[in-house]
């Protein structure tokens, strides 16, 4: 009986992990490409290797002061210009999205709103190449979930 329970628990864990991988792979292949203007904060971590701490303009506009950051996760609505650069429009409030609008999920972590991630890890020695990053390139699903796929320069060129 215990053996059967252990096998079922193991299968459930494997199914859960594989479903997460499947969702991420699907988002990478089918998600809409969206660019968020960013401002790199910290280019190096001695304990974790080379990384860039990220802050997004959308978050700065949606949450202009620490006191205005909500306690719960949610969605913001952004407008996409012809180059798919996102600009904050409003908080999602149940109203339908207008032309050129898309909802992005944010999560509150450490008193800050994060969109997908707050850090970009890269290979050692690439800090100079990435110092000029101006945008984060994301794949966004219909539900607002996002994956950071890379950094882009001021003219949206891949870095």
Query: Is 159 inside a domain boundary?
Result: no
46 lies in the same domain as 4? no
22 lies in the same domain as 52? no
Q: What is the mean pLDDT of residues 8-30?
A: 75
Measured distance CA(37)–CA(109) in Å, rounded = 20
Domain count, the chain: 2
26 lies in the same domain as 49? no
108 lies in the same domain as 43? yes
Mean pLDDT is lowest, of 60-64, 126-130, 153-157, for 126-130
Tens digits of residue pLDDT in 102-130: 999 998 887 778 888 887 878 777 777 77
Paired residues of 140 in beta bridges: 32, 146
% of the chain at pLDDT higher than 70: 87
Q: Which of 42-46, 54-58, 106-110, 136-140 has the highest mean pLDDT?
A: 136-140
CA dihedral 53, 86, 133, 149 (to 10 degrees): 70
Query: Is 158 inside a domain boundary?
Result: no
Measured distance CA(130)–CA(150) in Å, rounded = 10
Query: Is 67 inside a domain boundary?
Result: yes
pLDDT of residue 40: 55
68 lies in the same domain as 84? yes
% of the chain at pLDDT higher than 90: 26
Predicted model pTM: 0.76
């Amino acid at each position: 009986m215990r053996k059967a329970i252990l096998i079922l628990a193991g299968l459930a864990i494997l199914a859960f992990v594989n479903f997460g991988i499947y969702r991420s792979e699907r988002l990478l292949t089918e998600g809409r490409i969206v660019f968020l203007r960013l401002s790199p904060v910290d280019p190096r971590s001695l304990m974790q290797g080379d990384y860039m701490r990220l802050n997004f303009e959308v978050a700065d506009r949606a949450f202009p002061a620490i006191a205005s950051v909500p306690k719960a996760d949610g969605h913001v609505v952004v407008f996409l210009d012809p180059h798919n650069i996102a600009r904050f429009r409003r908080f999602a409030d149940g109203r339908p999205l207008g032309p050129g609008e898309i909802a992005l999920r944010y999560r509150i972590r450490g008193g800050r709103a994060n969109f997908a991630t707050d850090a970009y890890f890269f290979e050692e020695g690439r800090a100079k190449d990435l110092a000029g990053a101006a945008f984060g390139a994301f794949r966004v699903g219909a539900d607002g979930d996002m994956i950071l796929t890379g950094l882009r320069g001021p003219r949206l060129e891949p870095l």
